[in-house]
Structure 1
Amino acid sequence: MCRTGQDPDGEPDVDATDAVFTSLLEDSAEELYEQAPCGYLSTLMDGTIAKINATLLDWLGLSRAQVVGRMRFADLLTVGGKLYHETHFAPLLQMKGEASGIALDIKAAGKQRMPVLVTSKVKVSEDGEPLLIRTTVFDARDRRAYEAELLRGRQAAEEAQRQAEADRERLQAALAVLQQSLLPAALPTIPGLEAGSYYHTASPDLLGGDFYDLFPLDADRWAFFLGDVCGKGPQAAAITSLARHTLRAAALHDPDPVTVLTTLNTVLHERYSSGDPRYCTAIYGILTPGSDHVGVHLASGGHPSALLQRADGSAEYLPTPGGMLIGVLPHVQFTPAHTQLFPGDTLLLYTDGLTEARTGPTRDLYGEDALRTFTAAQPPAGPQALVTALTGLIAGFGDGLDDDTALLALGVPAPLPTPASET
């Protein structure tokens, strides 16, 4: 007896071997079709199902006898899927002969909605006549879950961003209120005097470390101060608040400039001497209006000297040498100074953000000499005019101005010119 695949002489029977392989391939192709990881079906041109694989039947929970020749492809779809099939999928297939990756929902076993991706192609005859439609159905449940998770993640991120923006707006509003509490809302009107101010913060949170104020001591005298806290932002703002309220309280108790600055030094040193020292510079003074002038009595604690613009067009610094930083040492000495303001004179107080601004291609310091030259070049038109001119100068520094800057100008208005009598 010979074995299958051999002839009587013991040589391989080629025809028999080919027949075996062909049979195996046919069985494998049919098994692959039936048990494929995706659904397969073929429909007539009207959608009637002519052939369907076991995989898709398992998803549907139906038998072949219930489907083949009895149902159309659209009958497998949910209500929404049918609507999309009729309005989009079928017209696209008719026009182009194929449709790929269309997301639909089928009615799966147990009346469950099952998301799928459908790809269909029309088979045509040699004459180009459409014969049937071959369709592949992919399980999109994992993909739909993944997309839903992505959507939830995106929505969560968007919500977090909206919350962060809302928190940022609330913080900015709170910081704006805090900043307003650190500066006077408006300078008071003083009979016989004029005042002007300007404030620029370099901190991104709009909280600066510079401060100033002008307020009455009694019916005849007014107090003023301008200072600069070391640092920027909320920490500097906390010291600014403490310094401002301390100066006002000390001035009402004993307005002498040296005494007021000494009190501020004591408060800051006691509060910040352990672990995290903090300090500031400041000028504090008293204005005493007279019959034809205003007396100025001031003291400086480590602060740049005040600049006087005189009515004759000159500009000079009011020396306050030896003034020490406020809050560093327990015992300090401050330098007092006196001057008088006559009609047309202006006293300018400023913080070092102005003189330490960087200018030009080489980013040199602007400096006190340049400030004096600039001031002398301005017409002696009063405090507000000088502040306006300096505001324009500061704007021109651009990113060269990297520190907080405050200006406070006080002066006596020049008398109005007497009109010439008509002849």
Structure 2
Amino acid sequence: MVADTQGDRVALLGEVASALSSAGSVRDVMAALVESLTPELCDGCEVAMVDDDGVLRRVAVGPGDHYAARQRQPVPDTSDNPVRAVLATGEVVLLDADVPTDLAQLGPVDDPISARALGVRSAVIAPMTGRSAIVGVLAAAGGRARRFTPADVDLVSSIARLAGLAVENLRALDRLDVSDAELASSRARLDALVGAEVIGIIAGEGTLILEANRTFLDMVGLGPDALRDGPLDWAQLTPPEWRSQDDEVMALMARDGRAEPFEKEYLHADGSRVPVLVGGAALTVEPFRWIVYVADLRARRRAEQQARDANIRLRALVIEQHHVASVLQRSLLPALLPPVPGFEVAAHYWAEGEGITVGGDFYDIVPLGAGRFAILIGDVCGKGVEAAAVTAAARHTARAAAMHFPEPEAVLRWVHDAIAIHAGGILCTLAYAVLDTAADPPTLAVALAGHPQAILVGADGAVSDIGRHGTLLGAIPPALHTDHCTVGPGDLLAFYTDGITDAPGAAALDHRELRSWLAQHASEPLPAIGEALHAELMGRRPGGLRDDVALILLRRSAPEP
């Protein structure tokens, strides 16, 4: 070692300072420390720093091969390790092998790369302190020839501080280089956006527009030379009613550095209004400089207006379709039901969904003379005009046939023949019954063609099904049967279409449930029964009915007391 005198130490400090000032990277700092301190001040030198993985490693060691095995090795994570102690406390440590406690801190003798095994007898370990934090640890080691003095400790501490400042400065320069690169990249992206002319870009100071791309100038009807003679005033491009909001946005950008996108209008050179979406950010506060993007909303406004116009036309079309469907549907149903002596009568019809298509459900009660009445209720498969034509044919054929054929089966076969010829494959279910009110008690003859059975709720609460199942009309010759029953005082008769019972899952009110439901409501007025049933269905089907529903209710009046 050479730096034995105060002059030698000052000279060495100057050499190290010169080497550190010319270092271009943190690695250069490490190399300068090793090269400058050995062998002038110490036999060995190493620097430990925390790497990107958070591990404290020896990042520089020297000289030569003697200490090479320690390069990039982690510093042992033990409580008595002096390097870790210096990093944690920031205090300089002087170790002397002649002191037993210091000797232990030089590492175990059986570890071939420990300081003790490498012959270190004295060491100065100092923190590399920058302006704000400890950036590493510098260790200078000596062998048997010399022990470090307090003057050496001061010198190593000073060199460590210089190294810490050098590392911190280089890292700051690295961050600045990254920031400059990011700024250049950001500027390039902004320039590309401005040059692409897909959106309006303006920049300025205060209320003055100093820069604008062609997209913005075209948007407001100004030529490419609009800024040649001087800046534009933002306020002059803004209608009076928008200026107070512009002032608020400017104040917001100056305060928060940015403004959320908002919609406003600009004045076009031809006097028209240009709807736009505007958002921006402040570049500096003093003076207040900003950059703003401007998106032209005219195409969107036109599309919105077109959508509103289309919606108006669609609503008008729906109303017209609803009206047509309603008129046609009413033509397929009786305007009024005839009075039936000794019976209360009510009928209900509820259309599917919005009621803009003609349904296939129909019903009627036809006086046949001599106290006899034909009751018919049916369901034509399908919707629309074709189904309506079959519905009309089925209803009117049944009415006509009822006048000529007393047997329900004969009427159903007549209807089958009529629709099989003209329906083009459209099928129909039909329940046809003849109620004889002149009989004592009144009698009911029922035939079913693919239709649900009628339900009879007795005055005593007993429930029974009326009619046997037959086959659909319109395809093959139907297999039909006629069943007979009597109707007592207070008995309730219900004929219905399958819009009540056919629905998925819990939305269905199947035939068995309908029987129980009618038994519970049988004593109520007939209109009230219909309203309650409709409410029950809508409660199960909040999205609306998926099929039309027709319902005929008859109740034999109780005798006068």
Pairwise TM-score range, normalised by the shorter structure: 0.5 to 0.7
The 1:300/1:89 distance shift into structure 2, 3 A limit, reads closer
Which of residues 310, 321, 325 is equivalent to 2:472?
325
Q: State the AA in 2 paired with 1:408.
A: I
Cα separation, 1, equivalents of 2:547 and 2:437: 34
Cα separation, 1, equivalents of 2:488 and 2:382: 37
Q: Contact 1:382–1:414 (CA<8 Å) still a contact in 2?
A: no
Question: Quick check: 1:227 aligned with 2:378?
Answer: yes
Query: 1:240 corresponds to which residue?
Result: 391
Q: 1:382 to 1:105 in 2, by over 3 A?
A: closer
In structure 2, the CA distance between the partners of 1:388 and 1:165, relative to structure 1 (3 Å rule), is: closer
Q: Which whole-Å deviations, capped at 9, do the CAs of 1:210-249 have from their partners, x for residues lacking one?
A: 2211132346432220112224565544432332232223
When the two structures are aligned, how many residues end up with a matched partner? Answer: 347
* Contact 1:305–1:319 (Cα < 8 Å) also in 2: yes
Q: 2:330 aligns with which of 173, 177, 180?
A: 180
Which position in structure 1 is the counterpart of 2:432? 284
Residue of structure 1 aligned with 2:554, choices 410, 415, 418: 410
Give SS of 1:352's match: coil
**Structure 1 position 343, deviation (Å):** 2.0
Query: Percent same amino acid at aligned positions?
Result: 31
TM-score w.r.t. structure 1 length? 0.61
In the alignment, is the contact (CA less than 8 A) between 2:447 and 2:467 conserved in 1? no
Match of 2:364 among 203, 207, 213: 213
Rate the CA distance shift 1:81–1:332 in 2: closer, same or farther, 3 A: closer
**Counterpart residue type for residue 263 of structure 1:** W
Say whether residues 1:161 and 2:298 are aligned partners.
no
Distance 1:213 1:304 in 2: 16
1:367, CA displacement in angstroms?
4.0
1:394 pairs with 2:537: yes
Aligned partner letter, 1:397: R
CA shift at 1:94, angstroms?
11
Q: Distance in 2 between matches of 1:154 and 1:193?
A: 59
Measured at CA, do residues 150 and 238 of structure 1 come closer, stay the same or move farther in structure 2, by a change above 3 Å?
Answer: same
Do the aligned residues in 2 keep the contact of 1:381 with 1:414 (CA within 8 Å)? no
Structure 1 pair 114–262 and aligned structure 2 pair: CA distance change class (3 A)? closer
Over 3 Å counting, the alpha-carbon distance change for 1:395 and 1:292 in structure 2 is: farther
Cα separation, 2, equivalents of 1:90 and 1:381: 68
Counterpart CA distance in 2 for 1:153 and 1:314 is 64
Question: 1:195: Cα distance to partner?
Answer: 0.9
Cα distance between partner residues in 2 of 1:353 and 1:90: 60
Report the residue type matching 2:448 in the other structure.
Answer: S
Do 1:346 and 1:383's aligned partners in 2 also have CA atoms closer than 8 Å?
no
Cα separation, 1, equivalents of 2:374 and 2:480: 17
Paired AA for residue 314 in structure 1: A
Task: Provide the TM-score with structure 2 as the length reference.
Answer: 0.48
Shift of 1:254: 4.1
Q: Which residue identity is paired with 2:441?
A: H
Secondary structure of 1:222 counterpart: strand
* Equivalent-residue separation in structure 1 for 2:343 and 2:461 (angstroms): 19
State which of 434, 445, 451 in structure 2 corresponds to 1:303.
Answer: 451
Query: Is the Cα contact below 8 Å between 2:492 and 2:556 reproduced in 1?
Result: yes
Larger Rg: 2
Q: CA RMSD in A?
A: 5.3
AA at the equivalent of 2:540 = F
Distance 1:95 1:396 in 2: 55
